[in-house]
Amino acid sequence: MKTTQLKVLDENEIQQIHQGTLTVLEKTGIYVNEEEARKILKEHGAKVDDSKKRVWIPPSLLEDGIKKAPREFTIHARDPKLTLKIDCEKIYFEPMIGRLNILDASTWKRRRTTLKDLENLMKIANAMPNFNLLHSGAMMPHIEGVPDPIAHVYGYFTAIKNAQKVVKGTGRGTSKAQDCIRMAAVLAGGMDKLKKETWLFTTCNTISPLQLDKPQVEGIIEYARANQAVDVTAEVQSGATSPVTFAGSLIVQNCEVLTGILISQLTKAGAPVFYGTCGGVMDMRLADIALGGVESGLINIASAQLAHHYHIPCRGTAATTESKALDMQAGYEKAVTLLMAAMGGANTIFYPGVMDHALTISLESYVIDNEICGMVNRALKGITVDQAHLAVDIIDKVGPMGHFLGQKHTMQFLKDEHYFPTISDRRIREEWEKDGSKELKEVAKERVQQILKEHVPLEVEPDKLKQLSQIIKEVEKREGVSCPP
């Protein structure tokens, strides 16, 4: 049977959180710092105080609105074979592509991330078989050497040139969202086709507690109008920006995420959305979020249960670590949170590749995290029990004191039953020492160098590259800045 989904809430507890959410949104309300969104909510029956930018949402409006969200949708990739169907059953992994810092494997120290780094990050992520959706430089607030007002278009352009998988755009503000939507339309074959097919997805974050900020809400509205996907994600910090109790934190998260989804569906019914979480606890000793903690795993599982209760796909967050090195702490924090999120049913799992409080990205961590994702995928498949897999006749044939190495049955089922790691070392110590006693980060470093030398992404058609370059020139003119050669 397929591995049973982990659960931390029963149906009664889910209902209690839902009812608590309805009470808070109707009684306490939520801060929505975007005029058009408040207007949309007011037109559909919400109570709005524009002077305070406060909105109170009646239960019927929320419940009716989130029912409009689709249970499944498709996000297209440049390579049609890598197009993804999103629903509440499938599980995909989305590595973090760009952070302010990158771990430089020549020194194992961090430095600022450049456009060339972004190119390499995309190539490695594109080559990793267990990574499905790709975050991109479009989401980076800063790329070293690129003026911030145009970093999103250079980031997206670099991403799609170096990867043919599903690639993320930005939704942080109306103009930036529209820029990425225009560029995605080039890939889709025109804006009319884009509005019929989803080619782009983004993250719009809320601000806990109970705030939706202007640039993020503008992104929700623009992506909904264009029929592009949004994961509305809350980053509650239990004990700081949400109650110290997990049940209370889930109510705060639920209020924020469902309000964002409601705005999306009132803008365009059926617009593709994810219910997103990036929740964790604040380590009270250090006054900083601990996304690598086991508590994040619990929040991921509960969030998947809530999302699926509303029949909405869930975006989770895992594989991050507070470690500053690719060491044992990084390994166990990444593995535990990834396995919990996946077994809890999060449908897209974000953050493989990050470390250092999610402030630093690592090419070598991509290779390591891809290995963990492969192991997780195998765990999710579970154990098949049927006549062929029970192998009673093979056991009888081999009998006592025999072995199964030469049996056709072994070769028939080997690759499906066993997961074969690509960088984990299972040799005896003597063989490992003879080969240089390489630690995992050094093996990953060699693999990165090999991929950068050998991997060739699918080329973007020349006419589309020309159209994309023209959009970049128009954005540069609008912003009054350009990128040095």
Predicted pLDDT at 291: 87
Predicted pLDDT at 33: 98
Q: Is the pLDDT of residue 2 over 80?
A: no
Rounded Cα–Cα distance for residues 398 and 402 (Å): 5
Question: Do 49 and 86 fall within a single domain?
Answer: no
Predicted pLDDT at 254: 98
For the chain, how many structural domains are there in total?
A: 3
| pLDDT, tens digit (0-9, with 9 covering 90-100), for 373-392 | 999 999 999 999 999 999 99
**Inside any domain, residue 303:** yes
Predicted pLDDT at 141: 85
Mean pLDDT taken over the chain: 96
Question: Do 309 and 203 fall within a single domain?
Answer: yes
- CA 22 vs CA 25, 87, 254, 256: distances in Å: 5, 25, 9, 11
Question: Do 282 and 171 fall within a single domain?
Answer: yes
Instruction: Tell me the mean pLDDT in the region 346-357.
Output: 96
- Return the H-helix or E-strand segment holding 18: helix 11-27
Instruction: Tell me the mean pLDDT in the region 20-26.
Output: 98
Question: Do 283 and 322 fall within a single domain?
Answer: yes
Give SS3 for 385. Answer: coil
Residue that is written with structure tokens 């992506």 in the block: 223
What residue numbers bound the domain in which 402 lies? 387-417
Under a CB-based contact definition with an 8 Å cutoff, are residues 121 and 99 in contact?
no
| pLDDT, tens digit (0-9, with 9 covering 90-100), for 213-235 | 999 999 999 999 999 999 999 99
**Inside any domain, residue 438:** no
**Inside any domain, residue 455:** no
Task: Quickly state the pLDDT bin for 285 (edges 50, 70, 90).
Answer: confident
**Inside any domain, residue 439:** no
Task: Quickly state the pLDDT bin for 287 (edges 50, 70, 90).
Answer: confident
Question: Do 16 and 132 fall within a single domain?
Answer: no
Question: Do 158 and 261 fall within a single domain?
Answer: yes
| pLDDT, tens digit (0-9, with 9 covering 90-100), for 234-254 | 999 999 999 999 999 999 999
**Inside any domain, residue 448:** no
**Inside any domain, residue 241:** yes
Question: Do 297 and 410 fall within a single domain?
Answer: no
* Percentage of residues of the chain with pLDDT beyond 90: 96
Burial 147-183 (b: 16+ CB within 10 A, else e): beebbbbbbbbbbbbbbbbbbbbbbbbbebbbbbbbb
User: How many C-beta neighbours within 10 Å does residue 445 have?
Assistant: 19
Instruction: Tell me the mean pLDDT in the region 70-92.
Output: 97
Q: For the chain, what is the radius of gyration of the CA atoms?
A: 23
Rounded Cα–Cα distance for residues 163 and 141 (Å): 21
Question: Do 391 and 365 fall within a single domain?
Answer: no
Residue that is written with structure tokens 């594989």 in the block: 319
Instruction: Tell me the mean pLDDT in the region 436-449.
Output: 97
Q: Is the pLDDT of residue 1 over 70?
A: no
The pTM of the full predicted model, rounded to 2 decimals, is 0.96
Q: Is the pLDDT of residue 131 over 90?
A: yes
**Inside any domain, residue 47:** yes
Predicted pLDDT at 326: 96
Question: Do 279 and 395 fall within a single domain?
Answer: no
Under a CB-based contact definition with an 8 Å cutoff, are residues 71 and 312 in contact?
yes
Question: Do 59 and 99 fall within a single domain?
Answer: no
What the block records as the tokens of 434 is: 């003879």
Question: Do 55 and 87 fall within a single domain?
Answer: no
Under a CB-based contact definition with an 8 Å cutoff, are residues 38 and 48 in contact?
yes
**Inside any domain, residue 447:** no
Q: Quick one: DSSP state of residue 459?
A: P
Question: Do 269 and 340 fall within a single domain?
Answer: yes
Which contacts (CB < 8 Å, 24+ apart) does range 136-139 have? 136/97, 136/98, 136/160, 136/167, 136/168, 136/169, 137/97, 137/98, 138/168, 138/169, 138/170, 138/180, 139/97, 139/98, 139/168, 139/169, 139/170, 139/172, 139/202, 139/203
Q: Is the pLDDT of residue 352 over 80?
A: yes
What the block records as the tokens of 63 is: 């419940």
- CATH number, domain containing residue 361: 3.20.20.480
